[in-house]
A = this chain, B = another copy of it.
Amino acid sequence: MRSKNQPSGRKSDGGQGDRSFIEQARRAQIIAAAIGAIAELGFAGASLARIAERAGISKGVISYHFAGKDELMEQVVERIYTDAAEHTAPLVAEQATVAASVRAHILGAAEYMRGHRDQLIALGEIFNNLRTPDGKPRFGAHSSEPLYQALEALYRAGQASGEFRAFDTRVMAVTHQAAVDTMFGYWTAYPEHDLEAHARQLADLLLNGVRAPGAD
């Protein structure tokens, strides 16, 4: 009766530990199918049955590889989130001035959006809809703390270097992130919209907003 079948049995296991290759592949496949389903049908429309159908497997397979729908959704978020962060972070770091970093962050985000439409839609859907069993949002605004802190650090550096004027860096970070997120949402609704031009306009706007009075 020992050694039950539960590859995903080790609950609350952050790292993926010792997972066989085919196990990892199946999980990746299911996650990909989930992203597609959520992007097309919305969070509520992405049932396990529909995700399984997209993946070309039986519904039970998902239950076999994931503890439940909630774990699936959390894995989807983790996958997308880390991937996006890995892409954006280095772009910012290699700039000479802080203003250039801010601009690079915005333009880099726009470029990333082009190739990851479904992932970002799915991310938003899950953020907005996934809830804990007691009904509270699973990913509240608090989940954006790391993002906010990174942006705050960036803007504070600009203040320290004298590039930027004095302002509340937290409000700035929140606004910056919101503007970038919405740029994506707007482009999603109006696909013919020029994403890169939007990004340039936005960078101009934000940098003008924080630029130190003397610098020109």
Please report A residues at the B interface, Cβ cutoff 8 Å. Answer: 40-45, 128-129, 131, 135, 137, 140-142, 165, 167-168, 171-172, 174-175, 177-179, 181-183, 185-186, 188-190, 197-198, 201-202, 204-206, 208-211, 213, 216
Contact = CB atoms under 8 A, between A and B. Distances in A.
Give the oligomeric copy count: 2
Nearest to A181: B178
Contact of A171 (B41, B168, B205): B205
B167 A205 contact: yes
Contacts of A40: 135
A202 B174 CA distance: 10
A45 to B, nearest CB: 6
Nearest to A174: B186
A216 B172 CA distance: 22
